[in-house]
Structure 1
Amino acid sequence: MAGACLPAAETALRAWAARQPMLDAGGAQPWAVAYSGGADSTALLWAAQRLWPGQVQAFHIHHGLQAVADDFAHHVVQTCAALGVPLRLVRVQAGHAPGQSPEDAARQARYAELARLAQAHQVDWVLLGQHAQDQVETVLLALTRGAGVPGLAGMPEAMERHGVRFGRPLLHTDGRVLRAELAAQGVAHVQDPSNQDERYTRNRIRARLVPGLLEAFPASLDTFGRSARALAQAQRVLAEVAEQDLQAVGQPPAIAAVRRLGRDRQANLLRHWLRQGWGVAPSEAQLLELLDQLAACATRGHRIQLKVADGRVQRQGAVLVFARDL
């Protein structure tokens, strides 16, 4: 098993690495794989260890959300020991805020802990195991929620979060091929029972929509990926325009200057301002109401106040401000 070769995973990892603007990795272990023990992260860990022996470590986040979490951790420990890969295993308690799903809270806690581990152990990149089917699911999930361009752009193959770079080398690779290679090489992995729970929207999409989509349109893994990349490019352009507009209208935004922009450009600017400055996103209805309030704001005494996420957009003199609710 130590010499297991996973051609699809290794090819994808090598191609992904060639596309990234790598910094010179000065440390002995510049790579880490976020290793759950599942099939996808298993394929990624084996491929990374074969390509960069002695430069890879594994990070395992134990959420304790399932009864089998201890079994997953035991499998991860055994696998890393057999591969000779250093393992950093940490437990997190991810309490969720009112209105927040436990899954979202766990995901945020996982990224924060992965970033902390990367900084503590001199890791240049944390690699994530999402594959092409995961991207299709993400785009379909965004459609069910009425998402705009940022959501429909899906998952990026590289990003920075909490000051750490994360990569998804398998994002253009068919997950069925990865599993077939693991089976052919006899590489063990765990099965997450929560993936079968169709109370979760993503799982219903995975179980019911994606198989039918791929049967009817076999090229969907490629076409969805192309569409997501095109939308990601469009979003980068929109963000660049919004940043230029934000510099022009000032921080905080001057109401008179915002009103001089066209309505669509106002919407793009306000989304960017709220997302970049406060990490919040208005709903379509909230954004339209804010635009209407701006259009009506022709006198000095006109008030603007709109609830968005956990705060409010309001007028303060000649500018717009966002204030968190107490």
Structure 2
Amino acid sequence: MRGYAAILVRLKELSFQEGWALQYSLENLIDNALAHHVPGRVVWVALSGGLDSSLLLSVAAPLARRRGIDLRAIHVNHGLQASASDFETYCRELCGSMAVSLVVAHVSVSPAGQGVEASARDARYQAFSHHLSAGDRLWLAQHADDQAETLMLAALRGSGVRGLAGMPVVRQWRGISIERPWLSLGRSALAREAQRRELAWCEDPTNAEVRFDRNYLRHRVLAPLRQRWPHAVEALARSADHLQEADELLGELAEIDLAEAGSDPGCLRLSTLRGLRSSRRRLLIRHALERLGLPMPPETRLFELERQLSAAAPDRQPLLYWAGGEARIWRHHLYLMAPLFPVDPGWQVAWDGVSSLETPWARYSYELRPLQGGTTSPLCVSLRQGGERLRLAGRGTRDLKRLLQEAGIPPWQRDRLPLVWCGDELVAVLGVLSAQGWNQAPYVSVSPAAS
């Protein structure tokens, strides 16, 4: 009996040590993350009310308060289930008990075309972008089990290295730093710590519904895998880490090729593209699209684009569309861009020559003044109709169409360039040319107009 009692005492000691080590590990991860905080910014915890995010908030709140860091929580109520109001109530009570400011965002989910899970995620991120400011940090409580599921889902979709790399620990999104401080920890470790703290949380009833892909993997695939390979989740998460390293190296390689192709992701030299092997060429195109914030084309469209790069004759202007993007080839360059929507050729507007010019498709920031000063007739801005002529210093009056060709303006941009008139005289093409006796400030920027 003495030996048995000694064993029990030793087991309790080990259990206490394991619990203390786990508590220290969790708090240490959070405290290290807070140590790199920029003063004046806000740390937000995405609080669903489940075990993972509730534990994250309960660990982070006192540590942030100790460091004088403004920590808040945001709860997104999707309204997709009857228990949604219970989750919201719990989040309010939890934040109230810890004196943490809470924002509740009510969103509507429209699953048309992409399913409930993807639509809910999009609505959630829209809420984040609405309530968080640039420079803020958003903490998500995703863990190693989530990473393993993400990798497997990506593999089943046939994703490449970027998809298989799963979720990064940190990424920038619309000026917000999205961080996952617990991505190295398994859910079982979080559950043990939550029980040790006697933490309450809400169980999402949909977590057991295997009709959702992620839940099916969790209950029907990963659970049996753990029985055969107890460390399956950790191994898959490590694989995702290795793939993230590979993705970073590929990104560096693509940046080298982008510099060689002219450094402009929207305008790549064909000579550079044609000099790369096929896989490296596709890597550069995908990297350029990512830099531009454009969606990736389906593989079939990407391969067709490659074919056009090799086969396009100098006098041809191939155009390829895909959802959210398009590619054009012109004058030995590949142009990548968002789809151009039609413009009204009869559009016109009065302009004072000083304020930013707002158009339905872009915002132009220029100043346009006569060189001799003095008053001028009101300026009017319109689009090309054909036959316009511009009087240039030292060159006389020239056909505008020919001048735009000489300036290297792509054909699809020529019909949406703002033409500025003073009375019946064409005095400028904004960002391109000025008439004799007129001066426009150097090109500043052309950015999408606010919607």
Whether TM-score is above 0.5 comes out as yes
CA distance, structure 2, for counterparts of residue 7 and residue 47 of structure 1: 14
1:249 and 2:261 matched = yes
- Equivalent residue of 1:187, what SS? coil
8 Å CA contact retained: 1:6, 1:181: no
Q: Tell me the residue number matched to 1:113.
A: 127
Change (3 A) 1:309 1:227: same
How far has the Cα of 1:16 moved from its partner? 5.6
CA distance, structure 2, for counterparts of residue 89 and residue 148 of structure 1: 36
CA distances 1:39-91 after superposition (whole Å, capped 9, x unpaired): 10011011112322364321111122222211110111111112222211121
1:52 and 2:52 matched = no
One of 64, 68, 73 as aligned partner of 2:79? 64
How far has the Cα of 1:175 moved from its partner? 0.5
CA distances 1:96-124 after superposition (whole Å, capped 9, x unpaired): 5x63334323213322322443328xx74
Change (3 A) 1:13 1:184: closer
After the TM superposition, which residues 1-326 of structure 1 pair with which residues of structure 2 at under 5 Å, given as runs?
Answer: 8=22, 11-15=25-29, 18=32, 22-26=36-40, 30-53=42-65, 55=69, 56-95=71-110, 99-119=113-133, 124-250=136-262, 251=264, 252-297=267-312, 299-321=313-335, 322-324=337-339, 326=341
How many percent identity over aligned positions?
A: 34
8 Å CA contact retained: 1:310, 1:325: no
- Equivalent residue of 1:315, what SS? strand
CA distance, structure 2, for counterparts of residue 265 and residue 311 of structure 1: 21
Aligned residue type for 1:70 = S
How far has the Cα of 1:13 moved from its partner? 4.8
How far has the Cα of 1:311 moved from its partner? 3.3
Change (3 A) 1:324 1:21: farther
- Equivalent residue of 2:183, what SS? coil
Change (3 A) 1:149 1:110: same
CA distance, structure 1, for counterparts of residue 147 and residue 34 of structure 2: 19
How far has the Cα of 1:9 moved from its partner? 6.0
**RMSD between aligned residues:** 2.5
CA distance, structure 1, for counterparts of residue 282 and residue 34 of structure 2: 32
Structure ID, larger Rg: 2
What stretches of structure 2 of length at least 5 have no aligned partner? 1-18, 342-451
CA distances 1:193-236 after superposition (whole Å, capped 9, x unpaired): 22222222111111111112222222223222221111111111
CA distance, structure 1, for counterparts of residue 49 and residue 23 of structure 2: 16
CA distance, structure 2, for counterparts of residue 207 and residue 305 of structure 1: 46
Change (3 A) 1:61 1:248: same
When structure 1 is superposed on structure 2, of 63-72 and 266-275 the one drifting more is 63-72
8 Å CA contact retained: 2:30, 2:181: yes
8 Å CA contact retained: 2:50, 2:204: yes
Q: Tell me the residue number matched to 2:401.
A: none
**TM-score normalised over the length of structure 1:** 0.87
- Equivalent residue of 1:139, what SS? helix
How far has the Cα of 1:134 moved from its partner? 0.4
Report the structure, 1 or 2, having the larger strand content.
2
Task: Give the ranges of 4+ consecutive aligned residues of structure 1 lying more than 4 Å apart after TM superposition.
Answer: none
CA distance, structure 1, for counterparts of residue 23 and residue 288 of structure 2: 39
8 Å CA contact retained: 1:10, 1:47: no
CA distance, structure 2, for counterparts of residue 203 and residue 304 of structure 1: 44
- Equivalent residue of 1:324, what SS? coil
How far has the Cα of 1:285 moved from its partner? 2.7
How far has the Cα of 1:142 moved from its partner? 0.4
Aligned residue type for 2:103 = R
- Equivalent residue of 1:306, what SS? strand
CA distance, structure 2, for counterparts of residue 70 and residue 323 of structure 1: 40
CA distance, structure 2, for counterparts of residue 20 and residue 317 of structure 1: 51
What stretches of structure 1 of length at least 5 have no aligned partner? none
Report the structure, 1 or 2, having the larger helix content.
1
CA distances 1:135-180 after superposition (whole Å, capped 9, x unpaired): 0000000000000011110111111111011211111111022123
Change (3 A) 1:155 1:17: farther
Aligned residue type for 2:32 = A
- Equivalent residue of 2:185, what SS? coil
CA distances 1:289-309 after superposition (whole Å, capped 9, x unpaired): 222222223x21345333333
CA distance, structure 2, for counterparts of residue 207 and residue 127 of structure 1: 26
CA distance, structure 2, for counterparts of residue 185 and residue 309 of structure 1: 49
